[in-house]
Amino acid sequence: MTSDMKRFLLTPLLALVACGAPPAGERSGPPPEDAVVVREEELDTERVSPLKRATNLFSSGDYVGARGALEELLSEEPEHTQALYLHARTLAFLGEYRGAKADCQAVLALQPDNALAFDLLASLHEHLGEHREAIAAYKRVSERVRSHAQETAGYLRLLGLPVPPGVVSHAPLVGMA
């Protein structure tokens, strides 16, 4: 596909995204499920839930620690969807993409309409070069999210075009090489 064809096909999509996207720097919608903030006085691990502790470790960049905390939680509650999703993100940051895909698929088996899991799964497919699967997963995201911004952002990344400001994937894999 030539560069001119890409622009011709994507210009209408970009217009839709620009109309529906929040201004740069602003978030739309509810905070992500894994956005748990723990105050310093709650850092005593006996008083903090295992998921909050894992989230704190993940947020601080301690992916190995987060993985351990999540695996401990999942050994007790294997169908804990928030823990499975955060475990998938943690594995992705650690470069274990196939394990992350398995966790996303486990979340989707429990919650078939989980747009965050589909978005992360699409990003993993994209990162592994599985473009057809990535496109299919981005389409599933667009079926579950009112705005088509997620699908458009995925297509733009697949085509090597810049994503407009304000259009951010729910589960960006920042830091993945």
Same domain? For 39 and 90 the reply is: yes
The Cα-based distances of 21 to 8, 14, 67, 127, 144 in angstroms read 20, 10, 33, 24, 17
**Global model pTM greater than 0.95:** no
pLDDT at 19: 40
For the chain, what is the domain count?
A: 2
Show the low-confidence residues of the chain (pLDDT under 70).
Answer: 1-47, 145-177
Same domain, 149 and 121: yes
Q: Is residue 143 part of a domain?
A: yes
Range of the domain at 130: 113-166
Model pLDDT, residue 167: 57
What DSSP string describes 47-102? TS-HHHHHHHHHHTT-HHHHHHHHHHHHHH-TT-HHHHHHHHHHHHHTT-HHHHHH
The sign one gets for the Cα dihedral 130, 133, 135, 137 is negative
